[in-house]
Amino acid sequence: MKGIFKNPLRRWFWLFLGPVTAAFAIGFVWPFFQGIYLSFCKFKLIRNAKFIGLDNYAAALKDPTFMHAFWYTALFALVSLLFINILGFAAAYVLTQGVKGSNLYRTVFFMPNLIGGIVLGYIWSMIFDGILSRYGTSILMETKYGFWGLIILMCWQQIGYMMIIYIAGLQSVPEDMLEAAKIDGASKWQTLFRVTIPNVMPSITICTFLSLTNGFKLFDQNLALTGGLPFIIQPDGSNIKTTEMLALNIYNTFYNSNSASKGVAQAKAVLFFILVAGIGLAQLAYTRKREVQQ
């Protein structure tokens, strides 16, 4: 006990940890739990929230737009996961083969990551419409354009980031293993699939986790690129926003002018959290098993 106070670092640790812990508690922990509580309430302002039990969850699960957004988001997350990781890995592989100017390429590929999502969305909507307007259409006119447009945008933004992680992985593959494979007469493909990939599994775990959760959580780019357009106008006058993803669906629900909708949006947000956390953890557990210990 006395030892703790003798060491000045230990004596003053609370001074250094305190502010961060307080900020974390105020900025994250408290709102998180309050958010969960609010999902069981009917409210306009937080200060006059009224507890109503599970009604919000029932309404959220009955909402066809939420279900549509879920499936659309799941499809998007899966497709973007494949594209981003395959292309990111390919870029990393090429750039670790001693290509001339590979440092420059790495920097250039990484740069799109530094631009914010909203700005990216607007820039790409101009690029896509510049092309599509030649054919008398627009990215806002067809669901498939909106879907692939968003995939292209996300690939452009994320490939560079994943590439950096893969490069780090590839550089840590032991030289002696590669040399042994070469001496044993393994072809380039055999070396890639039997030696290199098993050794970069930790990078693959991280990258698939990041791109999967990013895909599910996507908001800014979705809002700026299509904002959910086009809608399918149902015969009864209701509509389905065909390119609306989960996060945007929650946002639109929250700012609906029905007084009950804020609670429903909150319930959707809690379901969303459980979903993203669950999928992320499941995926981590799955790929971890495939990592080799060196």
Residue numbers of the site for another protein (CB under 8 A)?
Answer: 12, 15, 19, 22-23, 44-47, 125-126, 129, 133, 136-141, 227-231, 233-239, 241, 252, 255-259, 261
In this structure, what are the phi and psi dihedrals at residue 125, rounded to the nearest 5 degrees? -65, -35
Give 49 or 170: the residue with its C-beta nearer to another protein.
49
Give 107 or 256: the residue with its C-beta nearer to another protein.
256
CB of 61 to another protein, least distance (A): 17
Taking the C-alpha atoms of residue 12 and residue 5, their distance in angstroms, rounded to an integer, is 9
CB of 52 to another protein, least distance (A): 16
CB of 231 to another protein, least distance (A): 4
CB of 1 to another protein, least distance (A): 22
Whether the bond between 230 and the residue before it is cis, its omega within 30 degrees of 0, is yes
* DSSP state string for 33-51: HHHHHHTTEE-SSGGG-EE
Query: DSSP character for 293?
Result: P
CB of 13 to another protein, least distance (A): 12
Taking the C-alpha atoms of residue 162 and residue 108, their distance in angstroms, rounded to an integer, is 13
C-beta neighbour count of 292 within 10 angstroms: 10
Give 46 or 78: the residue with its C-beta nearer to another protein.
46
Give 232 or 281: the residue with its C-beta nearer to another protein.
232
Closest CA to 167 of 200, 193, 190, 189: 200
Taking the C-alpha atoms of residue 62 and residue 68, their distance in angstroms, rounded to an integer, is 11
Listed in sequence order, the residues at least 6 apart from 54 whose beta carbon sits closer than 8 Å to its beta carbon are 40
Query: DSSP character for 240?
Result: E
Give 88 or 263: the residue with its C-beta nearer to another protein.
263
CB of 21 to another protein, least distance (A): 12
Where b means 16+ CB within 10 Å and e means fewer, 138-163 reads bbbebbebbbebbbbbbbbbbbbbbb
Contact 158, 172 (CB under 8 A): no
Give 207 or 246: the residue with its C-beta nearer to another protein.
246
CB of 67 to another protein, least distance (A): 17
Give 129 or 291: the residue with its C-beta nearer to another protein.
129
